[in-house]
């Protein structure tokens, strides 16, 4: 075992000075033995990091309590999984226009009290999988779907998250005519936050799995009842099973049949080239 823990987290929250947040985060992670990526934008924060448990927990405590953040991240959910191998070699904190790039101007994941809450718990999600008027939609790239997905889920066959809106627009009227409700999921929940809000604006009835696949694995001891295959993760572990344990799958295997597989593999190695 590597003795490391992986932590993923996000929160959509309005940040008045995201540059100051980035600067403080860089101070907190410097020379601490952490690796990973943290994105900050005016709309909030998203991170996937790894490190020794005590170091990771100290950082998470600071993230929630440091006065520079003014309570913006207090009570944030951290999804943990143990690591057989070190998930990251480098630690990077980036200032971005969005914490997840959706590609449509004006779409935000910030909470809106005027919009119906589309989040559902893992237990409710299991029920939705069996309801006949529900279409289960995978809100990830096609190579992620092929590696593993929820039973009965539809593959949108997109190669980039930015292509997902076009897929929805091409099918939305048919779904509405058929009386379909859309149950949507992604790895950690963040992609669904923006997509769900936008899909509601298109007149669709949408549910999103709270905390994504990772939360389902954490909450449901028998998640294998509903999950087929493995779950791709964006770090050196490559894939985990429904028990949140690293598998033997390699990046080369995941990208082997992708038209842009060589580019994806090279990009992954370039972004985190260490051992």
Question: What residue spans define the domains of the chain?
Answer: 4-95, 119-271
Q: What is the pLDDT of residue 135?
A: 98
Are the C-beta atoms of 47 and 38 separated by less than 8 Å?
yes
Q: What is the pLDDT of residue 275?
A: 43
Secondary structure (3-state) at 154:
strand
Low-confidence ranges of the chain (pLDDT < 50): 1, 275
CA angle 72-75-81, nearest 5°? 115
Q: Do domains 4-95 and 119-271 have the same CATH topology?
A: no
CATH class of 119-271: alpha beta
Are the C-beta atoms of 97 and 44 separated by less than 8 Å?
no
Residues with catalytic function: 186
Separation between Cα atoms, residue 143 and residue 154, nearest integer Å: 13
Q: Is the dihedral of CA 206, 240, 100, 27 positive or negative?
A: positive
Q: What is the pLDDT of residue 20?
A: 98
Are the C-beta atoms of 36 and 91 separated by less than 8 Å?
yes
Q: What are residue 80's phi and psi, to 5 degrees?
A: -105, 150
Q: What is the pLDDT of residue 75?
A: 97
Q: How many CA atoms lie within 13 A of 220 on its CB side?
A: 24
Q: What is the pLDDT of residue 273?
A: 59
CATH no., domain 4-95: 3.30.70.100
CA angle 124-220-113, nearest 5°? 40
Separation between Cα atoms, residue 155 and residue 139, nearest integer Å: 8
């Amino acid at each position: 075992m590597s003795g490391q823990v992986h932590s993923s987290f996000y929160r959509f929250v309005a940040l008045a000075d995201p540059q100051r947040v980035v600067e403080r985060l860089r101070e907190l992670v410097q020379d601490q033995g952490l690796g990973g990526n943290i994105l900050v934008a005016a709309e909030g924060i998203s991170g996937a990091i790894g490190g020794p448990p005590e170091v990771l927990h100290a950082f998470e405590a600071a993230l929630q309590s440091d006065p520079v953040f003014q309570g913006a991240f207090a009570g944030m959910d951290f999804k943990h999984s143990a690591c057989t191998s070190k998930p990251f070699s480098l630690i990077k904190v980036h200032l971005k226009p969005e914490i997840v790039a959706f590609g449509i101007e004006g779409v935000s994941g910030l909470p809106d009290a005027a919009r119906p809450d589309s989040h559902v718990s893992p237990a409710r999600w299991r029920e939705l999988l069996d309801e006949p008027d529900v279409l289960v939609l995978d809100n990830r790239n096609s190579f992620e779907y092929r590696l593993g997905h929820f039973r009965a889920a539809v593959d949108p066959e997109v190669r980039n998250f930015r292509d997902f809106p076009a897929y929805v627009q091409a099918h939305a009227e048919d779904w509405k005519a058929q009386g379909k409700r859309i149950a949507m999921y992604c790895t950690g929940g963040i992609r669904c936050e923006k997509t769900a809000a936008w899909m509601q604006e298109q007149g669709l009835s949408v549910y999103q799995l709270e905390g994504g696949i990772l939360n389902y694995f954490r909450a449901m001891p028998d998640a294998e009842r509903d999950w087929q295959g493995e779950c791709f993760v964006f770090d050196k572990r490559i894939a985990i099973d429904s028990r949140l344990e690293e598998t033997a799958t390699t990046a080369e295997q995941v990208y082997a049949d992708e038209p842009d597989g060589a580019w994806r593999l090279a990009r992954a190695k370039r972004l985190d080239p260490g051992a």
